[in-house]
Structure 1
Amino acid sequence: MANNTLLVPQANAALDQMKYEAAQELGIAIPQDGYQGNMTTKDNGSIGGNITRRLVQLAEQQLAGK
């Protein structure tokens, strides 16, 4: 029961792309089938933290007018 509903459903593809880019930068392999249940909590948390940092950085740049 995920409560993380996207306000803009079209953003799902962009978030997935960010997930794969973040994992690649961190050297974490995401299974080809997309199922992350067998990945460690540390790896999933690292990917999520990296995505959050990127989203905050993008928002700061938008607010600064860049």
Structure 2
Amino acid sequence: MRNLVPEARNGLNRFKMEVANELGVPFTDYNGNLTSRQCGSVGGEMVKRMVEQYERTL
């Protein structure tokens, strides 16, 4: 993953792990054993939450 703001990398990784834990997706250092659906659910939920947060600031 390429971050537009490199300083945000650690925060995004923590956010990803938080969402994965809440969804019950076992993210680790190696995620090659996960399905596309599992990975996509984490990414989709992250985007959903980021959009909701942005909309609250409008």
State if a TM-score over 0.5 links the two structures.
yes
Alignment of 1:22-61 (within 5 A): 22-31=19-28, 34-61=29-56
Indicate the RMSD between aligned Cα atoms, in angstroms.
1.2
Identity across aligned pairs (percent)?
40
Total equivalences in the alignment? 58
- Of Structure 1 and Structure 2, the greater helix share is in 2
Runs of at least 5 residues in structure 1 that lack an aligned partner in the other structure: none
Q: Which has the larger radius of gyration?
A: 1
Q: Post-superposition shift, 1:5?
A: 2.7
Q: In structure 1, what is the equivalent of residue 14 of structure 2?
A: 17
Runs of at least 5 residues in structure 2 that lack an aligned partner in the other structure: none
